[in-house]
Amino acid sequence: MLTIAYVLVVMRLVVRVALKQRHLVLSDVFLVVGALCALGIVICDTISYRMGAMDDYNMTGTSVTITELGKACCRFPSGRPPPEAKVR
């Protein structure tokens, strides 16, 4: 799925820049930032899986804590950022 998303992003950018010879607009920048965020989530989930955090739902008997996952991925498994990253 991520590969398909990246193919579509690249196709849109190629059409906009190469074929139409126009500059990127704000929506294109948001599209690229969103694609990079999706890649970051896949990387964090891969790290969590390799740490063994996805083997047991209630996390009993594993050596991985939520704090370690937050430090490794800069986010909690719920998708929320750590409390110190909140904008006030």
Give the Cα separation of 34 and 83 in Å (integer). 22
**Tokens 């063994």 belong to which residue?**
52
Its pTM surpasses 0.75? no
Paired tokens of 76: 């909690």
Alpha carbon distance 50, 36 (integer Å):
21
**Are residues 56 and 62 in contact, defined by beta-carbon separation less than 8 angstroms?**
yes
Give CA–CA dist 66/53, Å, rounded.
Answer: 9
Model pLDDT for residues 40-85, shown as the tens digit of each residue = 888 888 888 887 777 655 555 556 665 665 555 555 455 555 555 5
